[in-house]
Amino acid sequence: MLQSVGRPRVAVLIPCYNEEVAVAQVVRDFKASLSEAVIYVYDNNSRDRTVDMAKAEGVIVRCEPASGAKAMSSAGCSRTSTRTYMFWSMEMPPITRRVRER
């Protein structure tokens, strides 16, 4: 199986809207569970400190002005150069520890 050199194999795409309370912990969980992944936080016009909290965790933060899940998914796929994407909804329960254990 051929692999691209210098390109991450997995990207975690986390769309956010006003998630300042939870985004840092979700990012830390993914870093611990999928250390080889590149983590992107896609902010969707948050009015709180979501962007600041995500940047403080050292991940790639991109702002997507078009509202909605479809716009966020499209932006994530078109602006990320990996073969495998993992979309994470902030509304999902914290299961990232189970991802690592499988």
pLDDT at 1: 40
Distance CA 41, CA 51 (A): 8
Binned at pLDDT 50, 70 and 90, residue 8 comes out as low
Please give the domain boundaries of the chain with CATH numbers for all domains: 10-92 (3.40.50.1100)
Q: How far is CA 17 from the centre of its chain?
A: 12
* Torsional sign, CA 61, 67, 73, 79: negative
How many of the other CB atoms lie within 10 Å of CB of 93?
5
HSE of 63, CA atoms in CB hemisphere, 13 A: 10
Q: The whole model's pTM is what?
A: 0.77
pLDDT digit string (tens) for 32-60? Answer: 988 889 999 999 999 999 999 999 999 99
Tokens standing for 11?
């990207």
Distance CA 20, CA 22 (A): 6
